[in-house]
A and B are shown apart, each in its own frame.
Chain A
Amino acid sequence: EPEVTQTPSHQVTQMGQEVILRCVPISNHLYFYWYRQILGQKVEFLVSFYNNEISEKSEIFDDQFSVERPDGSNFTLKIRSTKLEDSAMYFCASSGLAGVGANTGELFFGEGSRLTVL
């Protein structure tokens, strides 16, 4: 069964360092997302990406964050200068089969990348 894969599974970094989290979405999906979950809190939307551009972003997704789809398979989240409060589990998700049309919102999530900022 197709799945969303994320790397690394866990990354520890020093405050102020740049971090890149990588995701390989399901191959024939059109919509890509990043969500995060701080320990013990709700899953929070960060950004959605469609047709090679950001379609929506949350207030959390400030200038320190960026996303990129550098090739036909990878989808990355970059945090330029990490802060302590960026420590969280970051989930990549994808949805929307090519040819089906509308984005139903049934998201397929990866297993997450745990980011620890010291």
Chain B
Amino acid sequence: EDQVTQSPEALRLQEGESSSLNCSYTVSGLRGLFWYRQDPGKGPEFLFTLYSAGEEKEKERLKATLTKKESFLHITAPKPEDSATYLCAVKESNTGKLIFGQGTTLQVKP
């Protein structure tokens, strides 16, 4: 069965304290790994797509990387506005069906 597992479940950081979130996945044929941000009571917001091992994408303080078994979301010098739940998802078909992990809830304190 395809699985997406994220760790840690929750992460508290001080403003400026860099860290990484992990997403481990097992799928029969990866057609994309996605990172989304979800604020409380809102829908997921697309951040990145990664397609192949070794690929990296950056956006402001966030950088996503991909290996054959996992992806990391690195957060450099986070700010309080980066506080959110970060979701990882994989796609294995052409239909747009995404399989989500349970998310990592990040809290950045000033």
Contact = CB atoms under 8 A, between A and B. Distances in A.
Interface of A: 4, 31, 33, 35, 41-45, 48, 50, 55-56, 58, 91, 93, 95-96, 102-112
Interface of B is mostly: loop
B102 A109 contact: no
Interface string B5-47: 0000000000000000000000000011010000001111110
Contacts of A106: 34, 46, 49
Interface of B: 31-32, 34, 41-46, 49, 87, 89, 91, 93-103
Nearest to A106: B46
Contacts, number: 66
Contact of B43 (A93, A95, A105): A93
Contacts of B93: 56
Contacts of A108: 46
A91 B44 contact: yes
Contacts of B102: 41-42
Given A31-B95, A31-B96, A93-B43, 20 more contacts: A4-B43, A35-B98, A42-B102, A44-B100, A48-B97, A55-B95, A56-B93, A56-B95, A56-B97, A58-B97, A91-B43, A96-B96, A105-B31, A105-B32, A105-B98, A106-B34, A107-B44, A109-B45, A111-B43, A112-B42
A105 B44 contact: no
Contacts of A50: 95
Contacts of B46: 106-108
